[in-house]
């Protein structure tokens, strides 16, 4: 389908009023490697008289509000809305030198077509699940990707191998588990990996527990909720009596982290139950060579490594071993990450000072509610891969190029409502109380500041590159996706190392003529556009409204299901027309106002499931809370990675005995003889994480918990196996904690 037909369909069903510009686009990488040479020394001007050392003075004028704030909030904490003050020194507003340096280097890299300054070598570009694995003893013997369960004994990382205990893996029926008494109270918690679950027999389980006591030798790993309409599903269970520890190479741990960077379990911890993708016909690993990957779920993530989808001549200079660097790296310096001398380490020869807006504190725009900004998702094929054809296999395409943020014509746009946080009914939450948004102070447009760049041993060519970079607009500070931080630049003067003002070089245009194309791309990308905002749409999801970017991407930019199927999932209209998926339009420098997306804040009506499992939609309308909210919407709670889950992970890494935990499931019924607020007889046992903390086990239930106030216990009561009476302070599916109150 040609572009004009696609555009016609988008306007017909999604309307022109729903059109918008994405906040970022991409400038393509050059077709060939940039020039490379040995890095210049700081003292190069001592032997080359045409090199310049001195100061370049600039005047910076904001053309949109600028965000520069202190690192710590002056109001609010981790559990409430935070407010931040602008970064100031006295009455002056400051943009720190480090921020100026990063922005200037990025700009100079783009206009010269230089190598990337940084690339996450472990990152895999993953969107959804693309590895379907089967257990050797399952009914599905046609699947040739086998999997086995393992328990993490020692997590690995880039610098050291880890250890996983593997064992006999079988399937267990979820419907049978759900029939066990009391199971419903812990199912959701166990499914998220927040508590351990043990059974007596995977083929015919009759009991479950939290510890492998009294014949509970099978540990179960629950996957996500069953697909609607599915009668039953199989879960995995590992036999603890067959465990064999195996050293796993560091690369497999790095690959796991790179594949799960945006997933629920981004880091593995000791005791985690994981899936192991096996090689070839292997059904039970006998060595690490049998393991292809570590996965959190049996429907796992493979993706493609980022480095395989970036041309190798664009890789950062620190990844090369020829001892050379491109022009921009040569100016800003490099620190070698490698122990050998194959990658040079050298100092920067362009060193900005703080950007100072004098006496600007009184002009700050105060109490601005800023929309939350999501973490980038480079795995999104529709936006990050070099294609705008929704029928093409984007997995075969490289990444698009340099990512740049655009600017908006909507100078009075509310910075929260264009990308706010919405409740279960799709209504905007209060910006001043939302925990994920923040209140800030902004420096208004038309503010003037001064900036000095210290230069050391710049060649005429390097000076030409710098001056050409100072002839275009800059982007500084935070909030760039919201259109903040656009600035114009004016060269005030040049001062040599003796303190004398000198004339600017007159050969810059000639020496930098090859930069015209890159500068043209940059200028076009910074032209203000209408309706610049992140994608957003609204959909019914059970008993609530989902309103946000995830809904738009699920509707318009989701890859077709199945690893062998190419392209984006289309939308089937009840009129029998098919609405193609939407890729981020390829940026065109001579027409920057083009490249519209459609469907912003649109609500689907008349969704019907067809006999072929296709869902048809009657029409799309602009979402209106007065018309489309029923009043019956209910929150389903958080089930994904958020601040609480990240805090819990950090707390467990540092040994916090009571880390913050997300409330994702109801507390199970109290077990006999173990109720909160009662005194019970326990046996001192080993710290499950080997940190020499005091833990105790309640024998009748097998529950193990941390002992508070253990410093008050006599040493003989702290010994493994000692019996002691403890107070049951916390009893839930998420935590078990005791407290020592004395003999």
Predicted local confidence at residue 98, as pLDDT: 96
What's the rounded Cα separation, in Å, for the pair 435 and 420? 12
Record the pTM: 0.82
Token readout for 518 is 């890159």
| Residue 348 pLDDT greater than 70, yes or no | yes
Q: What is the largest CA-CA distance in the chain?
A: 89
Predicted local confidence at residue 423, as pLDDT: 85
What's the rounded Cα separation, in Å, for the pair 592 and 25? 10
pLDDT band at residue 577 under the 50/70/90 scheme: very high
Count the residues in the chain.
743
State the burial class of residue 328 (Cβ atoms within 10 Å of its Cβ: 0-12, 13-18, 19+). Answer: buried
Among the residue ranges 211-220, 271-280, 517-526, the one predicted with the least confidence is 211-220
pLDDT 10s digits, 312-340: 999 999 999 888 999 999 999 999 887 77
Predicted local confidence at residue 228, as pLDDT: 59
| Residue 653 pLDDT greater than 50, yes or no | no
Strands 124-125 and 304-305: antiparallel
Q: What is the mean pLDDT of residues 23-38?
A: 95
Instruction: 256-259: list long-range contacts, CB under 8 Å, 24+ apart.
Output: 256/293, 256/294, 256/295, 256/296, 257/122, 257/157, 258/120, 258/122, 258/123, 258/124, 258/305, 258/306, 259/124, 259/126, 259/293, 259/295, 259/300, 259/301, 259/302, 259/303
Alpha helices in 543-655 (DSSP H): 549-556, 625-628, 643-654
Residue of higher predicted confidence among 135 and 493:
493
Predicted local confidence at residue 657, as pLDDT: 38
Among the residue ranges 15-29, 32-46, 174-188, 585-599, the one predicted with the least confidence is 174-188
| Residue 230 pLDDT greater than 50, yes or no | yes
Q: Given 3-state DSSP classes, what are the helix, strand and coil percentages for the chain, each rounded to the nearest 5? A: 20, 30, 50
Report the percent of the chain where pLDDT is more than 70: 90
Please tell me what DSSP assigns to residue 725.
E
- Which range scores top for mean pLDDT: 30-44, 84-98, 180-194, 695-709? 84-98
Please tell me what DSSP assigns to residue 288.
G
Asked if 327 and 462 count as a contact pair (C-beta separation under 8 A), the reply is yes
Q: What is the mean pLDDT of residues 189-200?
A: 80
Tell me the DSSP string of 233-256: -EEEEEEGGG-EEEEE-HHHHHHH
| Residue 146 pLDDT greater than 70, yes or no | yes
Look at the block and give the residue holding tokens 């981004």.
266
């Amino acid at each position: 389908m040609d572009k004009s037909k696609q555009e016609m369909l988008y306007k017909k069903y999604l309307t022109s009023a729903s059109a918008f510009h994405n906040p970022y686009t991409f400038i393509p990488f050059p077709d060939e490697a940039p020039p490379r040479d040995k890095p210049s020394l700081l003292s190069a001007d001592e032997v080359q008289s045409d090199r310049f050392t001195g100061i370049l003075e600039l005047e910076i004028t904001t053309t949109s509000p600028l965000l520069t704030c202190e690192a710590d909030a002056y109001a609010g904490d981790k559990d409430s809305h935070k407010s931040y003050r602008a970064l100031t020194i006295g009455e002056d507003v400051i943009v720190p030198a480090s921020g100026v340096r990063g922005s200037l280097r990025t700009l100079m890299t783009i206009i010269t077509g230089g190598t990337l300054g940084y690339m996450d070598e472990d990152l895999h570009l993953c969107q959804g699940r693309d590895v379907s694995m089967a257990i050797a003893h399952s009914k599905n013997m046609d699947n040739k990707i086998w999997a086995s369960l393992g328990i993490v004994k020692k997590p690995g990382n880039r610098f050291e191998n880890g250890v996983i205990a593997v064992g006999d893996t079988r399937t267990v029926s979820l419907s049978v588990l759900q029939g066990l008494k009391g199971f419903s109270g812990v199912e959701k918690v166990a499914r998220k990996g927040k508590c351990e679950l043990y059974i007596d027999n995977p083929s015919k389980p009759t009991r479950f527990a939290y510890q492998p006591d009294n014949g509970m030798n099978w540990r179960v790993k629950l996957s996500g909720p069953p697909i609607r309409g599915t009668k039953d599903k199989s879960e995995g269970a590992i036999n603890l009596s067959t465990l064999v520890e195996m050293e796993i190479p560091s690369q497999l741990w790095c690959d796991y982290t790179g594949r799960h960077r945006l997933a629920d379990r981004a880091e593995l911890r000791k005791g985690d139950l994981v899936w192991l993708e096996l090689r070839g016909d292997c059904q039970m690993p006998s060595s690490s060579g049998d393991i292809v990957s570590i996965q959190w779920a049996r429907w796992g993530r493979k993706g493609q490594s980022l480095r395989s989808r970036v041309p190798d001549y664009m890789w950062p200079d620190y990844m090369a071993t020829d001892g050379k660097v491109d022009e921009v790296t040569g100016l800003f310096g490099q620190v070698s990450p490698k122990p050998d001398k194959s990658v040079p380490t050298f100092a920067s020869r362009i060193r900005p000072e703080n950007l100072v807006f004098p006496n600007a504190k009184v002009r700050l725009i105060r109490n601005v509610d800023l929309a939350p900004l999501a973490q980038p998702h480079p795995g999104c094929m529709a936006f990050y891969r070099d294609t705008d054809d929704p029928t093409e296999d984007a997995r075969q395409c490289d990444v698009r190029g340099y990512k740049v943020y655009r600017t908006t014509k909507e100078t009075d746009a509310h910075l929260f409502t264009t990308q706010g946080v919405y409740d279960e009914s799709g209504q905007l939450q209060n910006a001043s109380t939302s925990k994920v948004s923040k209140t800030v102070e902004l420096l208004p447009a038309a503010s003037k500041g001064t900036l000095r760049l210290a230069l050391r041993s710049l060649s005429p060519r390097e000076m030409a590159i710098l001056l050409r970079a100072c002839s275009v607009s800059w982007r500084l500070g935070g909030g760039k996706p919201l259109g903040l931080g656009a600035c114009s630049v004016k060269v005030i003067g040049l001062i040599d190392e003796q303190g004398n003002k000198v004339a600017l070089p007159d050969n810059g245009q000639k020496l930098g003529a090859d930069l015209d194309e890159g500068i043209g791309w940059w200028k076009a990308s910074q032209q203000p556009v209408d309706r610049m905002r992140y994608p957003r749409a609204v959909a019914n999801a059970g008993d609530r409204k989902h309103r946000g970017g995830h809904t738009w991407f699920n509707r318009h930019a989701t890859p077709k299901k199945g690893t062998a199927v190419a392209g984006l999932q289309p939308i089937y209209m009840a009129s029998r027309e098919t609405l193609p998926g939407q890729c981020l339009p390829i940026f065109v420098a001579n027409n920057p106002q083009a490249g519209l997306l459609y469907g912003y804040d649109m609500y689907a009506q008349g969704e019907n499931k067809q006999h072929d499992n296709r869902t048809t939609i009657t029409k799309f309308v602009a979402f209106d809370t007065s018309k489309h909210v029923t009043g019956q919407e209910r929150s389903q709670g958080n089930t994904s990675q958020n601040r609480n889950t990240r805090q819990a992970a950090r707390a467990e890494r540092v040994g916090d005995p009571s880390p913050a935990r997300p409330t994702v499931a109801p507390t199970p019924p109290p077990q006999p003889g173990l109720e909160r607020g009662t005194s019970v007889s326990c046996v001192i046992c080993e710290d499950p994480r080997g940190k020499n903390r005091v833990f105790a086990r309640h024998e009748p239930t097998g529950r193990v918990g941390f002992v508070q106030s253990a410093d008050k216990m006599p040493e003989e009561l702290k010994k493994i196996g000692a019996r002691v009476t403890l107070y049951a302070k916390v009893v839930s599916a998420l935590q078990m904690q005791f407290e020592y109150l004395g003999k």
